[in-house]
A = this chain, B = another copy of it.
Amino acid sequence: MPTLESPPAQPQVINPKLIIPFVNSVRQVFTTMVGVTTTVGRPHIKQIPAASYDVSSIIGFSGDLVGSVVVSFQMEAAKKLVEAFAGSVMDPLSPDFCDAIGELSNMISGSAKKDLGVNASITVPSVIIGANHSIARLKDVPCLVVPCSTPMGDFAVEISIKQVNKPA
């Protein structure tokens, strides 16, 4: 079981060049697709899986970038943002609601990946619905939390990726 024998301390550095494209794409996607202005707070390293949310969308990265990017919402914010995005009220238990949340995160990660200019693949989104869940990753990839607020509610983007090869 190799991962349990790896050093317990999480690396506390994350390359800012990896983060800026995500901050830009979050702002752009929510402005153009949802019609809300996003205020981005001070990013911080996630030490423990303490912050918990009701709705999260996970996109995995592989290739030159390894890890995952999660967009997490409280339920009320998710409902309002999805309504503005899709143009109609959606039941949070419906597949369409999950699709809308997944599509927002897909646009954020897809656009950021393009800006980064790396040879990486992203997975289709997995959308988690469940009050107060938390998401943990393997210890060797640091996780940066970017808090975001909008007039419709707050959300967070959790970026837990590392670069395996330099960008072209």
Contacts and interface: CB of A to CB of B under 8 A. Distances in A.
Interface string A92-135: 01011011101100000000000000000111111111111111
Contacts of A67: 123-124
Copies of this chain, complex-wide, total 2
A35 interface: no
A124 B141 contact: yes
A62 B122 contact: yes
Contacts of A129: 49, 133-136
Nearest to A66: B124
Given A62-B60, A126-B58, A99 B132 contact: no
Interface in A119-162: 121-139, 141
Given A48-B95, A129-B134, 11 more contacts: A1-B85, A52-B130, A58-B58, A66-B123, A66-B124, A68-B124, A102-B137, A125-B137, A128-B128, A128-B133, A129-B135
